[in-house]
Amino acid sequence: MTEISKRARLLGTENAFVVLAEVERLRAAGKDIISFCIGQPDFPTPAHICRAAVDAIGNGHTGYTPSAGIQPLRVAVADYISRTRGVSVAADAVVCGCGAKPFIGYSIQAVCDRDAGHEVIYPVPGFPIYESQILVHGAVAVPLSLRRNRDFHFDLDELASSINANTRLIIINSPQNPTGVVFSREYLEKLAEIIAPWEKLWVFSDEPYYAFVYDQEFVSIASVNNMLARTIMVDSVSKTYSMTGWRVGFAINQKLAPVFSNMVTNTDSCAPHPNQYAALCALSESQDSVALMRDAFKRRRDHIVDGLNAIAGIHCRSPEGAFYAWPDVSELCEKAGIRDSAELASRLLHEAGVAVLADAHFGTPMASEGQHLRFSYACSIDQIDAGLRRIRHYVESD
């Protein structure tokens, strides 16, 4: 009898898409659902970027490109990263791919040998693909909690004690999905001090929400304490320019760029050719759309945080970045006799018609860290209001 491999059985998924599929199933059955589950800006891709893609097609840019990307885009990415991260990187340190997500797996493969006991430290709660890719590529997954009593930062003593001679990679995500936390320069300097003595330890700095920081400066760990050479910076045009479906992202590291380029050759060959010209336009021309989106997300952040805090049993900190609210619903669950946030999320979907994600979608939760839900506020204020009204009515009538 044919069987699937152990590797295939280990491969996880991104639960936002699982919930989204359930939302679409319910909608197809006639149920009205308001969804906060997917992290996708509701703004159209700016018109000048779309025109650049159309022009590229008209000019015959529809074939293969070098695996690392067209040279003008690599130059533009290097300029963009140098300008926005406060570092100096060259175009040959840049590799473009089909979004930022593939570089998670590429990075693990590049610095960890399969079944050699090499360890990867990753945040919990965090993007679920981190753990999925660690396991499928034969490394050892070492979850490290973002502690509620540390305002959803790593406990630095826990981090220090988690690193050993087998640790090859630590994943950092700021602004963070799902908590919206932004790491300060002072905190990143402390992280760098802990990492510095371990010569074989790389840092994966996941920065797709770079542009959406509201009340403080964005700082990449690559820019502190001589960390550039050992940091893999990853970003994309997906969130910043509302181009999620265009699938163009990039990784920056001088030593690993040739490795990443070879991995792109082995997987996707290259990012879509005309889309690379669209990304080039996005990075090189007017940034007005980015500022407009950031301002809109800040208004939405304030609106949804105020609305959530007005519902009995829900307590929500104000996220510093990205477009996710991470309310603590421990009190609500306890008062309503609901087992945990996963059960609450299921009830909200099926009984109130509101789709959210539970903390269990972002790694195995610890009871001591409370119960949390994730709301994406990459949607209109009208939709936010409608969803909050349903939740309030559900809570008050339960």
Summarised one tens digit per residue, pLDDT across range 143-178 is 999 999 999 999 999 999 999 999 999 999 999 999
81 and 122 co-located in one domain: yes
Q: Report yes or no on 174 lying in a domain.
A: yes
Distance CA 152, CA 389 (A): 28
Asked, for residue 155, whether it belongs to a domain, the answer is yes
pLDDT tens profile 33-42: 999 998 899 9
Assign 308 a pLDDT band (cuts: 50, 70, 90): very high
Query: Is 100 a member of any domain?
Result: yes
| CA dihedral over 115, 120, 123, 128, signed as positive or negative | negative
Helix (H, G, I), strand (E, B), or coil: what is residue 203?
A: strand
Same domain, 175 and 308: no
Q: Is pLDDT of 14 > 80? A: no
Q: Which amino acid is at 53?
A: A
**Is there a domain that residue 336 lies in?**
no
The mean pLDDT of 196-201, rounded to a whole number, is 97
Q: 257 and 114, same structural domain? A: yes
Helix orientation angle between 102-111 and 129-136, rounded to the nearest 10 degrees: 40
The reply to whether 37 and 116 lie within a common domain is no
Q: What CATH number should be reported for the domain holding residue 356?
A: 3.90.1150.10
162 located within any domain:
yes
Residue 327 lies in a domain: no
134 band by pLDDT with thresholds 50, 70 and 90: very high
Q: Which residues pair with 353 in a beta bridge?
A: none
CATH number for the domain harbouring residue 272: 3.40.640.10
Gap between the Cα atoms of 76 and 97, Å rounded? 15
Residues 280 and 302 in one domain: no
Which residue from 373, 380, 235 is spatially nearest to 311, judged by alpha carbons? Answer: 373
| Residue of 245 and 17 predicted with greater confidence | 245
Say how many domains are in the chain.
2
| pTM reported for the whole predicted model | 0.95
Give the model confidence (pLDDT) of 49-58 as tens digits. 999 999 999 9
Q: 148 with 159, same domain?
A: yes
pLDDT of residue 257: 98
Of 17, 45, 46, 41, the residue nearest 379 (C-alpha)? 41
DSSP string, 250-292: EEE-TTTHHHHHHHHHHHTSSS-HHHHHHHHHHHHS--HHHHH
In a domain, 335, yes or no: no
Q: In the prediction, which pLDDT does 3 show?
A: 82
Q: Are 171 and 157 in contact (CB under 8 A)?
A: no
Give the pLDDT mean for 101-114: 97
Domain range enclosing 33: 6-44+289-321+344-397
Q: Are residues 196 and 226 in the same domain?
A: yes
Do the bridges between strand 373-376 and strand 357-358 make them parallel or antiparallel, or are there none, so unpaired? antiparallel
Question: Is residue 122 one of the residues assigned to a domain?
Answer: yes
Residues 235 and 260 in one domain: yes
- Whole-number average pLDDT of the chain: 95
- pLDDT at residue 46 is higher than 70: yes
| Cβ neighbours for 362, distance < 8 A, ≥ 6 positions apart | 15, 124, 125, 126, 127, 128, 177, 178, 374
Measure the CA–CA gap between 108 and 94, rounded to whole angstroms. Answer: 17
Sheet of strand 324-325, all strands in order from the earlier edge strand to the far edge = 324-325, 373-376, 357-358
pLDDT digits (tens, 9 = 90+) for 309-338: 999 999 999 999 999 999 999 999 999 899
* Alpha-carbon span 77 to 73, nearest angstrom: 6
The Cα–Cα gap between 196 and 183 comes to 18
